[in-house]
Amino acid sequence: MSDLQNIQFSQSSIDTYDTCRLKFKKIYIDNIKWSNDNQNFGSEFHLLAQRYYIGINEELEQGREDYILFNNLKKFLKREENMYPEYNIRYKDTQMSLIAKVDLIRIEKEKITVYDWKTSKSKFDKSKIEKSYQTKIYLHNIAEKFDVSPNNISLIYYNPRFDNYIKIDYNATDHKYNKIELKDKIVSIINEKKFNQKIGKHCSFCQFNSICNQEFISVDCL
């Protein structure tokens, strides 16, 4: 489909394609979206973090879940002048267009560190995260858009529930293979002819479940 040539691919869109191609079509080609998508604790926490790193101090009620997690975040990474929250990093060439929507980027003279906040109730699986499209796109776009060696780029995932983080360092070899993998993946999506439904556990949390499987869900759970 020619419309796919105009899509800025993100970690979310590629993951959606791998989960269910029909869902990908409805969201990214047919532009069918729900207004309440992503209204959950995670998005509220990300807003708190964004406001903190641009200099806004929030007064939260002690003992609440967001108070505890937010204080863990502030202890983990104090606010500094060279930090930019909710930063979009775009990349485009003749074969692909990619966007990385990072939670926070710290830009130093010869070093860049990207941070991503996770509020999941499950602990990190480092091997899985290292192989994720989120990691690959974030690191790829930074290496392409900033005048800094891939060896001086790192990505940190932090979960305030466990006050735990993992750090992923980048290098030129990783960047070379990331670029090949991402291009191959996006070219395959652009050339896709059939967007078939894929039945699985993910259907229970899909906003299109009522259309595909005649089962209704609450949009609030998405």
- Are 87 and 105 in contact by the 8 Å Cβ rule? The answer is yes
Phi first, then psi: give them for residue 27, nearest 5 degrees.
-80, -50
CA distances from 13 to 25, 121, 167, 189, 195 (A): 10, 23, 24, 10, 14
Alpha carbons 154 and 57: distance in angstroms, whole number: 27
Alpha carbons 33 and 31: distance in angstroms, whole number: 6
User: How many C-beta atoms lie closer than 10 Å to residue 139's C-beta?
Assistant: 24
Instruction: State the average pLDDT over residues 111-125.
Output: 95
Catalogue the E-assigned strands of 41-96.
83-92
- Residue 221 has a pLDDT of 44
Task: Indicate the pLDDT class of residue 222, thresholds 50, 70 and 90.
Answer: very low
Average pLDDT, the chain: 90
Tell me 62's DSSP state: T
Domains along the sequence of the chain with CATH: 38-191 (3.90.320.10)
Instruction: State the average pLDDT over residues 45-73.
Output: 91
Instruction: State the average pLDDT over residues 33-59.
Output: 82
Instruction: Evaluate if pTM is beyond 0.75.
Output: yes
